[in-house]
Structure 1
Amino acid sequence: MTGSSGSSRPGRERRGARPSTRPRRRGEPLAASWDPEQPESRARPDASHLRRRAALAVLVVLLLVLTGVVLARTLLPGGDTTDVRSPAAAAEVGPVVGEAPTGGDYADVNIPTAELPVGGAFPVSGKGTWRVVPGSTPQVGQGRPYTYTVEIEDGTTPAEGDQAFVTAVDATLDDPRSWAGSGQIALRRIDAGEVPDFRISLTSQLTTRAQCGYQIRYEASCWKSDIGRVLINGSRWVRGAGAFEGQLGLYRQYAINHEVGHVFRNQHVPCAENGVLAPVMMQQSFGVSNDYLAQLTDDTPQGAQIPRDGKVCRPNAWPFPTGGPAPR
């Protein structure tokens, strides 16, 4: 059906007619930004316009994300990274891994301080013969002279080398806190080819057990008077003893001084007073609690009666801890 422009419906125009130039009244819908019936090349925005709009949208998103990160770092705790190499910084947030609780109550006889601590590999067996490590030292101390050699069991190789054992022995016996500090004896290490008064011998675990006995089922060193040899148990030399709380150097000094003390006819003794340094002749390889040692040695006496009196000493390596005999 056709008709004149005057008869057309208000608000509509015939196809192909020029758009009305009359002002849009309040309440009329917004005009479309493009005419669906126009050719596509003219009706849709060009590609460059779309790219500009997309880039603008991406920029807005990035700005929003960046703003959020800045606000989070400002307002939330722990926003800054911590340099774990800095002790001060690490202290603020705590350690990554914590250490075990420290210390042991050696008054508790249920703590098995006689057990060999965990640690490095040690010589399990050897040939039962020993080689003298070459070298000698000047005499130290005054009084009756004693000579000694330092030896390593054949078939074993100390992880630190033969010379490290020699150095430890010499440094211990040359110390004024050791037996030469008594003012009654003098000590000197001699070389191979001479006959010493006693031999200090680093020995494998099984050879030590065979020579010293193993009635108390824990590792120990000993003095064998019939062969004139101090046998230092290689397992204890490497691992130490629980009562020394990881102080391996101190334990090694104790092991040397304790066994050499037997050379000078000193017997085992208990802890004399609670909380003081243990006497060097106490069996500290097993523990520093009288109750615990008494429990271990009831069926296997060790040359001394250990009282069950609750006394617990502190580990000690020296017969004269102050550097000489106590004044009388």
Structure 2
Amino acid sequence: MPRFSDGTPAHGVPRVRGGHPEQRETGGGWGELGGRPAAPGEPARPGPPLPRQRQGPPQGPRQEYLDAFAGDDDVFAARRPPYRTAAPAQPADPYSSVTDWSADDDGGTTLATDAGAGGDDAPPTGEPASDKGGKGRAFTGVAAAAVTTVLAIVVAGQVADGSDGSGTRSQSAAGQARDTRDPSSRTDELPTPPAPVAPLTYEQKMGKKYPLGADLKGSGRFDAIPGIAKAPGTGQKYTYRVDVEQGLDLDGELFAEAVQKTLNDQRSWAHNGARTFERIHSGRPDFVITLASPGTTADWCAKSGLDTTEDNVSCDSAATERVMINAYRWAQGAKPYGDAILPYRQMLINHEVGHRLGHNHVTCDKDGELAPVMQQQTKFIDHDGIDCRPNPWAYPNG
């Protein structure tokens, strides 16, 4: 491309303007100029010649510069430059990070600011460069890079101060996830926990019937209920042990508690402090109160000449140490008492222990009277046209 006599580059060649210090390059894009560039209208003043490393026209831009700005060439397409010339080492440009774009290692194109192309004082000549073609794309790429840099700075600032909203979105997402998956965050949807069930009282347990067959015959083996229940009174003391036949599936502890409470009640044989009863689990007691199946009860009662198979009743096997309580009656009760199972069980204990204490059967004498505790109330309440009332106590008036 021709060069004007005053040293001004031909029309259409881009000029570099800026405030950076000049650094001349050997064999630069505009040929060899030893001194400063000539001002418009001033003849060129040659300076000391610089060493050259290739032969070529003394003036005019290098061919690779012309190629770089060809109209149909994409400066951002990967390509290899025609050639590179080794240049002498130059002082490092402190602004090279923003002014030096050169071809990178993978063949991409970067911008190189030629300090020797002209100084800040050189006035612009020629017409403005067209935004079409290679030059337009080059400047568009530079502008895009600048915009990208500004965006990167803005985004970096937002990340630094947390203003990008990601924390808010994360918290919102976390809250939504906890809202849908964590029941502790939605107390309005938590099921109401069931109220704690209070354990049954002694009276409640004694007022329930339990399933047990009328013809059941157990193993005949017994377990003593462990523990001691001290005699509460000061009268004549009787010791006893509570045995429960194995396999009955009844509450032996409840049975033992019922015996102790019943016998030491003032309406029972402990009336007026005459007697007191103490439960033991070892040693030799005065008697053993035994809860056994109907079959086992019949066997033990037969040892004392008593037949309990008729009406499926209990007995005091006086020839042995055992007072037998029929488990079927304990679990199911008897017709004269109906559903009043608690007083019926108290009557069973008082009646059979009464035999052990030497009392025999008796009946009521008048209509409407309480049946004596030694009446066979499992079998009947009324007798001989006399209407009696059920009664579990030896001294019902206390």
Match of 2:396 among 300, 321, 324: 321
CA deviations over 1:27-85 (Å, ceiling 9, x no partner): xxxxxxxxxxxxxxxxxxxxxxxxxxxxxxxxxxxxxxxxxxxxxxxxxxxxxxxxxxx
The answer to whether the aligner puts 1:207 opposite 2:296 as a matched pair is: yes
* Residues 52-201 of structure 1: pairs in structure 2 closer than 5 A: 120-122=211-213, 124-158=216-250, 161-191=251-281, 193-201=282-290
Q: Is the 8 A contact 2:287 2:323 kept in 1?
A: yes
- Structure 2 SS opposite 1:152: strand
Amino acid at match of 2:315: C
Q: Is the 8 A contact 2:237 2:277 kept in 1?
A: yes
CA deviations over 1:99-130 (Å, ceiling 9, x no partner): xxxxxxxxxxxxxxxxxxx9733481212232
Q: How many percent of aligned residue pairs carry the same amino acid?
A: 40
Cα separation, 2, equivalents of 1:162 and 1:119: 13
State the Cα distance separating 1:141 from its structure 2 match.
Answer: 3.2
Cα separation, 2, equivalents of 1:121 and 1:221: 15
Cα separation, 2, equivalents of 1:241 and 1:189: 27
CA deviations over 1:1-21 (Å, ceiling 9, x no partner): xxxxxxxxxxxxxxxxxxxxx
Cα separation, 1, equivalents of 2:270 and 2:347: 15
State the Cα distance separating 1:223 from its structure 2 match.
Answer: 0.5
Cα separation, 1, equivalents of 2:347 and 2:363: 15
State the Cα distance separating 1:250 from its structure 2 match.
Answer: 0.7
> Higher Cα Rg: structure 1 or 2?
2
- Structure 2 SS opposite 1:290: coil
- Structure 2 SS opposite 1:253: helix
Q: Is the 8 A contact 1:127 1:155 kept in 2?
A: yes
Amino acid at match of 1:198: F
Match of 1:278 among 363, 371, 374: 371
Q: Indicate the residue corresponding to 1:22 in structure 2.
A: none
State the Cα distance separating 1:285 from its structure 2 match.
Answer: 0.4
Q: Is the 8 A contact 2:362 2:372 kept in 1?
A: yes
- Structure 2 SS opposite 1:140: coil
Q: Indicate the residue corresponding to 1:240 in structure 2.
A: 333
Q: Where does structure 2 lack aligned partners over 5 or more consecutive residues? A: 1-208
Amino acid at match of 1:318: W
Q: Indicate the residue corresponding to 1:312 in structure 2.
A: 387
Amino acid at match of 1:266: H
Q: Indicate the residue corresponding to 1:30 in structure 2.
A: none
Q: Where does structure 1 lack aligned partners over 5 or more consecutive residues? A: 1-117, 292-309, 324-328
Q: Is the 8 A contact 2:264 2:276 kept in 1?
A: no
Q: Is the 8 A contact 1:142 1:180 kept in 2?
A: no
State the Cα distance separating 1:143 from its structure 2 match.
Answer: 2.7
Q: Indicate the residue corresponding to 1:43 in structure 2.
A: none
Amino acid at match of 2:310: R
| Deviating 4+ runs (over 6 angstroms) | none
- Structure 2 SS opposite 1:231: strand
Structure with greater contact order relative to length (CA < 8 Å, sep ≥ 6): 1
State the Cα distance separating 1:188 from its structure 2 match.
Answer: 0.9
Q: Is the 8 A contact 1:141 1:181 kept in 2?
A: no
Cα separation, 2, equivalents of 1:129 and 1:227: 16
CA deviations over 1:160-218 (Å, ceiling 9, x no partner): x2211112212211211111114322211112x21100111100011112222436621
What's the Cα RMSD here?
1.9
Cα separation, 2, equivalents of 1:266 and 1:224: 14
Q: How many residues align?
A: 185
TM-score normalised by L of structure 1: 0.53
Q: Is the 8 A contact 2:297 2:308 kept in 1?
A: no
- Structure 1 SS opposite 2:316: strand
CA deviations over 1:282-327 (Å, ceiling 9, x no partner): 0000011223xxxxxxxxxxxxxxxxxx21210000001111xxxx
TM-score normalised by L of structure 2: 0.44
Amino acid at match of 2:335: G
Q: Is the 8 A contact 2:290 2:325 kept in 1?
A: yes
CA deviations over 1:242-297 (Å, ceiling 9, x no partner): 11121001100000000010111000001122211110000000011223xxxxxx
Q: Is the 8 A contact 1:153 1:203 kept in 2?
A: yes
Distance change in 2, residues 1:319/1:241 (3 Å):
same
